[in-house]
Structure formats: structure tokens, C-alpha cells
């Protein structure tokens, strides 16, 4: 394997660690949106071919949307994205008035008002420049824990092999490109993890109770170990599940180790230009434990480096 990532897409992830009402009272309704905008605008030189952003509302009630996504290929895609989101907030504020400061009303009526954000800036090196190639990508399902949002910066050297693996699993991929094969492979093992937990508890609890148990117990490190074992190439990827977990993982063959930081209010992960020596890393942020602590191997720059997802386990960051 010799492929090195010289031109890099930008990725940013934000996870609020307290209830949304806390930020509304202390900073205003648009706190997370503004933080994500700043993170993406700082990397706008990487978004020459487009940008996208996705948002997850954690513990959203049935009957309401919990995933929002916008993508843009305008000349200033980041500004265009957040102008559209800002218009939704202004309209909701005008129509909702005092309700605009109510957490439950906001999550039920306003897109992009959730606790978990993922942004991507595309620097196209492969594929056509059209909106379908702009990240994040969605893999949707009516079971919340099986939904997957993915964005990345990668160049797989064995796309044909990964495609054939999916076909052998019984899937019918719509394209033979690395973005599709990577997402579908991770999605396949996410489905298997969910199904395994369902079988474990199906004789003990109702289906609705099992859904909550799955979201608490799902082992994303095992999903990554199984999904990534056949990947060959350099990559940095980030993903969100519909239940509100987040993951960031990489084989750093020429690509840069991300900036990772957290405090009592927020977790932030973002692309970094500086080249790094650690060969691999992974970060997992669990959906329910909003006030946990970070455990892992740290370098001086507060970057969390853990083993490749093939061997990652106890060293994966779990918040």
C-alpha cells in the first residue's frame, strides 16, 4: 500500500454533553450551530468542491424527525449551508415566540436543533463534482440505532475487493466507489450488532424496551473491528448513529491526526493540517452517557490515539 492523502477533505464533529436547555439558557438557541459553523469555516480552504452538515437529535420522540442534513456546491458552500439553517431558526423564532426557548418544542419543530453535529468539506480527488458526491452520506432505517451518517477523507486501494465482499454478503451496492462500499460495510456490521442484541433480549423484554437496551449496549468498537479489517488505504472517517453515538477512526498514512478536546459542556473533533506519526486511532462517543470521562492514550496536544479498529477495545475513547 502506497497511497497517501496529499489533498485532504475537512471534517468536524461537535457533541453537546448537557441537556439542550442548559445551552439555551446560558448561550442561546444557536450555540451548537455557531460552534459548528466556526469549525467548518476555519477549514473552508478544504471545501473547494462542496460542503455538507448533518445533525442528530438524541432521544427524539417517535413521530418526529431526528436526522437533518444539508449539502451544498455553491461557491461559498459553508456560508450557504449555515445561511439556510439560520433561516430555519429565524422562522421558528418568529412563529414560536417564547416556545423557541423550550427544548422539547425546538427539537420537535426545528431542524438542526439536536445535540450531535457532523460537518464535511469536500476537496474532490476522485469522482465527479456533483451533489451526490458531497458528504455526509446517509444510510437510513426505521430502527433508530441502525441509521448511519458517514463522512470521510480517504482513498481505498482495494475498492473492487470491498465491493465483492458486499456482494458475497448478499448486498446489491448501487455503485463501485469507496464512499458507498465503506458506508455499506460499516452499516452491515452495525445491523448485525443490533440484531445480535435483539436476539439476546427478545425473550426478556418488549420490542420497544429492547430498542432502548440496544442503544445503551451497542458495541461500536466491535462494529469497527469487524468492518475495517478489510480496508486497505489511508483514511480518516467520522460517523453518527441515529441513536446519537459518534465515532472517528483513521489509518493515518500521510493524513493528519485530528484535534480532539472536551470539557464539561462539549466534545469537539476536527481535522488538523499537521502531519502525524501515530499509524492509527479511533474515538467513540457513546449516546447516553453525557457526563462520562475520557479514557485513552494521550499525547501532549490532547489528541487521543488508540489502536487500529481491528484491535481497538478498551483503549477506544468512550464518553
Residue with cell 459553508: 78
Mean pLDDT of 176-202: 87
Nearest Cα to Cα of residue 56 among 264, 189, 246: 246
State the pLDDT at residue 228.
80
Residue 314 has pLDDT above 50, yes or no: no
Q: Say which residue, 310 or 37, is predicted with more confidence.
A: 37
pLDDT tens for residues 214-262? 998 998 888 988 888 777 777 788 999 999 999 887 765 555 567 788 8
Residue 136 has pLDDT above 60, yes or no: yes
Residue with cell 463534482: 129
Q: Say which residue, 161 or 29, is predicted with more confidence.
A: 29
State the pLDDT at residue 171.
74
State the pLDDT at residue 312.
36
Residue 32 has pLDDT above 90, yes or no: yes
Residue with cell 472536551: 262
Residue 98: helix, strand or coil by DSSP? Answer: helix
Q: Say which residue, 275 or 93, is predicted with more confidence.
A: 93
Residue 211 pLDDT level (bands cut at 50, 70, 90)? very high
Q: Say which residue, 5 or 10, is predicted with more confidence.
A: 10
R_g (Cα) of the chain, nearest Å: 19
Query: pLDDT > 90: what percent of the chain?
Result: 48
Provide the sign of the torsion angle of the four alpha carbons 222, 241, 191, 249, taken in this order.
negative
Residue 80 has pLDDT above 60, yes or no: yes
State the pLDDT at residue 10.
85
Residue 18 pLDDT level (bands cut at 50, 70, 90)? very high
Mean pLDDT of 295-316: 33
Grid coordinates of 295: 479514557
Nearest Cα to Cα of residue 162 among 224, 220, 227, 225: 227
**Contact call for residues 56 and 145 (beta carbons, < 8 A):** no
State the pLDDT at residue 85.
97
Residue with cell 457533541: 15
Please name the residues in contact with 78: beta carbons below 8 A apart, sequence gap of 6 or more. Answer: 37, 40, 41, 44, 47, 51, 72, 121
Grid coordinates of 186: 460499516
Q: Say which residue, 311 or 176, is predicted with more confidence.
A: 176
Length of the chain: 319
State the pLDDT at residue 300.
29
Burial class (CB in 10 A: 0-12, 13-18, 19+), 116: buried
Nearest Cα to Cα of residue 189 among 148, 154, 161, 160: 148
Amino acid at each position: 500500500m502506497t497511497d497517501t492523502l496529499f489533498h485532504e477533505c475537512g471534517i468536524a464533529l461537535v457533541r453537546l454533553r448537557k441537556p439542550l436547555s442548559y445551552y439555551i439558557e446560558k448561550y442561546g438557541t444557536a450555540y451548537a450551530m455557531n460552534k459548528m459553523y466556526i469549525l467548518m469555516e476555519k477549514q473552508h480552504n478544504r471545501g473547494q468542491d462542496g460542503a455538507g452538515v448533518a445533525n442528530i437529535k438524541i432521544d427524539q420522540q417517535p413521530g418526529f424527525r431526528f436526522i437533518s442534513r444539508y449539502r451544498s456546491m455553491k461557491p461559498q458552500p459553508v456560508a450557504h449551508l449555515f445561511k439556510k439553517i439560520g433561516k430555519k431558526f429565524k422562522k421558528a423564532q418568529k412563529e414560536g415566540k417564547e416556545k423557541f426557548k423550550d427544548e422539547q418544542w425546538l427539537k420537535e419543530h426545528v431542524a438542526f436543533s439536536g445535540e450531535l453535529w457532523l460537518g464535511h468539506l469536500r476537496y474532490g480527488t476522485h469522482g465527479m463534482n456533483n451533489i451526490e458526491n458531497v458528504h455526509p452520506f446517509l444510510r437510513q432505517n426505521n430502527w433508530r440505532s441502525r441509521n448511519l451518517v458517514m463522512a470521510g477523507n480517504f482513498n481505498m486501494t482495494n475498492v473492487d475487493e470491498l465491493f465483492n465482499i458486499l456482494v458475497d454478503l448478499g448486498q446489491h451496492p448501487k455503485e463501485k466507489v469507496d464512499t458507498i462500499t465503506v458506508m455499506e460495510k460499516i452499516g452491515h456490521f452495525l445491523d448485525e450488532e443490533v440484531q445480535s442484541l435483539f436476539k439476546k433480549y427478545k425473550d426478556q423484554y418488549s420490542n420497544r424496551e429492547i430498542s432502548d437496551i440496544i442503544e445503551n449496549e451497542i458495541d461500536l468498537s466491535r462494529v469497527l473491528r469487524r468492518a475495517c479489517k478489510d480496508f486497505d488505504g489511508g483514511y480518516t472517517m467520522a460517523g453518527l448513529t441515529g441513536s446519537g453515538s459518534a465515532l472517528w477512526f483513521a489509518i493515518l498514512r500521510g493524513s493528519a491526526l485530528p484535534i480532539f478536546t472536551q470539557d464539561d459542556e462539549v466534545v469537539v473533533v476536527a481535522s488538523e493540517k499537521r502531519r502525524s506519526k501515530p499509524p492509527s486511532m479511533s474515538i467513540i462517543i457513546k449516546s447516553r452517557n453525557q457526563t462520562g470521562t475520557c479514557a485513552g492514550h494521550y499525547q501532549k496536544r490532547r489528541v487521543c490515539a488508540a489502536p487500529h479498529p481491528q484491535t481497538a477495545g478498551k483503549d477506544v475513547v468512550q464518553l
